[in-house]
Structure 1
Amino acid sequence: MSVRKKFPTRLMAGLLLAILIDTAVQLIWKSAIVSLPNNGSPWLNVQALLRSPLAISVLLLMACQFFNWLIVLSNADLSYAQPVTSLSYVSVFCLSVLYLKEATDLIQIAGIILVLAGVWFISQTEHVTASNEGER
């Protein structure tokens, strides 16, 4: 079985984009929250977020993710696509450690290894249920 049939280019691109967008959303969101003034009021924090270019970027990326996810789900089963996008857990973890200088430990690293193993196992399955293939 060829890789192309098992993992069509359009689906691969959509899943990769979903992982990249989710990673960007998480990192930008963290930066937006950290940049808030320390005023102690949740309402004032919400108001500050609504004026923050970082928070607005997060909302725009989430909208892009919505439309990307429509395309992904039209080409794959949810039970396949969603677990594969958990690779964003790995990318967020790595970039949080590298760029945000967050601490890590062996338990977290073990968890990341388990996520990678899980994604590998799921990637070995069909991306579309045979009975649904004609509907796509």
Structure 2
Amino acid sequence: MRTKELLKRLESKEITLEKMLDTAMELYIGEGQEGVRKKLRELMLKYLSDINVQALILSALLLEENFTVEDDPVNLVADELIGINIAEYIGGKMALFNFFYYDTRKPGILAELPPFLDDAIGGFIAGCMTRLFESEADWP
């Protein structure tokens, strides 16, 4: 799957790259917002082209389209597992903490999304933010 195809599928659910960036930046505390956002955009596009990230996000999209779940039942953990796997794949174990931070606060579009997508997108954002700040020492 190409990155553009995945972005189109996400956009059909009103999930855009800009909204994901806005959501990520909503919980960011620090200076250099523009620089962080620019680097984050590059990182997100890189990982949206990764076949493993694509497969996990697409699985959440397909589950939302083909598997009916009322609200977000407490006994549903598959959604969390998708989000955790995306976060850890991109950002390692440290991303797990970011995932739960985003998952409990539900900033931006995360508050509007159904169960599988909010965790998949939350995991994606958490993984990218973790990876970004892990490499902060390499910034010019």
Alignment TM-score > 0.5, same fold: no
TM-score by length of 1: 0.29
Larger Rg: 1
TM-score by length of 2: 0.28
